[in-house]
Structure 1
């Protein structure tokens, strides 16, 4: 496995002003957890290692480089995959590697983002980036894997036709929203999570396929096969709620082939899901200088993968292509003030 920082120098070293010993640590950055803190004068991405050797690596930058909210959390850009470039120097925007004489506190941001860091542990060696390097920070959704349920409907991405190459995602209702990001896979205005829940009884085959046509309810636009699409079996007062149209004690009309109310409309529910996102951090042209006054430098000859920071969640709202204005309130007629 790849080692962090100085362990990698033995493989990627281009130049050094000193032929002295190379520091080798056991800090494997690929498996470390990147943290973030919002300080009064700077923001910091950092990772620490207390396993055998006490060390940290951090990316410090001016707190106006990336937007944060009132709670000190990073805000995803729009579009989500927009890249931010931070030019590094040895003052405000910089990479810092440190060795300490003791264990680094965990679970607290006080060390990395306080104006005056604690006196312990004491830094025994420090290397800092100079001018010429830059950080490429790109946000992205972190729920793009097969074993995650990105739309929160109870079905993993891979089981909703998620394509790992991102080219041919399944889109059952052809609404422009792939099933793995669609709350309503079949576009019938009944959420997938409802159509797969225990509120829908199993048929004799032990599946939720009310009309037994071989198409599970959550993928079937006419769940009871009565010739009326599920989304039209509604009360005109609630055109987006087929589940509320109940004429008999047998349950919703859209699951009862004997009940066939029909209200023509072209309205679809807005698709609202909560996605997880984070930031990928790459460092280009990285060179570090020992701060002991020796002037010793170490330089990377390739892009340095600082790591990934998982920020949190963000609400994503979209409309199906059949009703692109689904989330907008209907305009009201202007009133005459006279």
Structure 2
């Protein structure tokens, strides 16, 4: 449904009491900042409603720079005036209102405005920044960082988060090692070196198996992360989960990009977790007959099936075992954008003792979205 902010368009029609307005409360600190988008392009209205005394304050503006889901490179600064396209209005009502008063096509005709103040001067300052990003993979972001450091924190106040900061205790040193080809992610924050820090990476070891899938172990009474080969590196960070000399991503023998559905010997254990992939009694790592550390390249009988998958079973036709995997899994990040709205040097159309501070803060509003991008971009 298109949202037409009729409340602002019909200001002249809606009547208010004459004389000085006595604001009885103007208490909005504990009230959520809400947002409606208008029916015309780039039209927005931020508002707060104090239901306890039937009052509200709203700021409507048009901007082709603002977006709820894009960071503002610089503050958006807009001069206030009485133009319907850019105004701040405080109102008291004769009955309770909801967000529909500002967001619906037609305002409820039974709601009357008893008092009104209009901002006739000042500036609106609007910013929108990312305050949190997480891959929602089941591992806390602090556990995906060295020494359980919050990767997004900025203890030295230099504007550079820890995972990019060359010296997190020195405000004069930021992300000095960033280049055109590298974000400059610090050591310990990016296990697979794919330019995505672990706390934003759904596949931390880049093996085409999501971290969330690699976490659980087979013991319901054990809360530790799964470590199939017992090498001290949990599966979600281990490029070779069964320590058979073949990286997990290369055990995708059917080449469909999913190592989880490949079980050559049909024993119920996928190859990437199976130390003997063809169940011939010889561990995969011991079928590296040329001793180069790569069982993928050993095919002693020349039948096109590498030894580690060849148990003299004609059904095991896996001649594509050495093919490059078609793609890396896309990566989805749960991202929280925070919009902050502040009115500076506010001038109202009437004097009022309640407005002793000409800088009015609307507070902030968070918008949570899932952003998916191809990981191999």
Equivalent position to 1:308, from 351, 357, 364: 364
Measured at CA, do residues 223 and 133 of structure 1 come closer, stay the same or move farther in structure 2, by a change above 3 Å? Answer: same
- Note the alpha carbon deviations across 1:193-222, whole angstroms, 9 max, x for none: 11124xx53499764111111211111111
Counterpart contact for 1:287–1:299, Cα < 8 Å: no
Equivalent position to 2:130, from 141, 150, 153: 141
Match of 1:44 in 2: 45
Counterpart contact for 1:189–1:231, Cα < 8 Å: yes
Q: Give the Cα–Cα distance (whole angstroms) in 1 for the partners of residues 55 and 193 of structure 2.
A: 52
Match of 2:87 in 1: 94
Q: CA deviation at 1:24?
A: 5.5
Q: Normalised by the size of structure 2, how large is the TM-score?
A: 0.63
Map 1:210-249 to 2 at 5 A: 210-235=228-253, 237-238=255-256, 240-248=257-265, 249=267
Match of 2:342 in 1: 283
Q: Give the Cα–Cα distance (whole angstroms) in 1 for the partners of residues 367 and 222 of structure 2.
A: 43
Residue 271 of structure 1 pairs with residue 330 of structure 2 = yes
Match of 1:172 in 2: 191
Match of 2:58 in 1: 58
Counterpart contact for 1:151–1:181, Cα < 8 Å: yes
Measured at CA, do residues 232 and 185 of structure 1 come closer, stay the same or move farther in structure 2, by a change above 3 Å? Answer: same
Counterpart contact for 2:120–2:349, Cα < 8 Å: no
Residue 192 of structure 1 pairs with residue 211 of structure 2 = yes
Counterpart contact for 2:68–2:337, Cα < 8 Å: no
Counterpart contact for 2:340–2:363, Cα < 8 Å: yes
Paired residue secondary structure (1:254)? helix
Q: RMSD of aligned C-alpha atoms?
A: 3.3
Q: Give the Cα–Cα distance (whole angstroms) in 2 for the partners of residues 266 and 135 of structure 1.
A: 49
- Note the alpha carbon deviations across 1:273-320, whole angstroms, 9 max, x for none: 1424334123242414145xx699957455x4312223342423142x
Measured at CA, do residues 103 and 203 of structure 1 come closer, stay the same or move farther in structure 2, by a change above 3 Å? Answer: closer
- Note the alpha carbon deviations across 1:225-281, whole angstroms, 9 max, x for none: 12222112221533x322122112141111112234633647651432142433412
Counting matched residue pairs gives 276
Q: Normalised by the size of structure 1, how large is the TM-score?
A: 0.69
Unaligned runs of 5+ in 1: 1-19, 68-73, 145-149, 325-338
Q: Give the Cα–Cα distance (whole angstroms) in 2 for the partners of residues 250 and 181 of structure 1.
A: 32
Unaligned runs of 5+ in 2: 1-19, 155-160, 164-185, 278-283, 285-294, 297-321
Q: Give the Cα–Cα distance (whole angstroms) in 2 for the partners of residues 275 and 137 of structure 1.
A: 20
Q: Whose Rg is larger?
A: 2
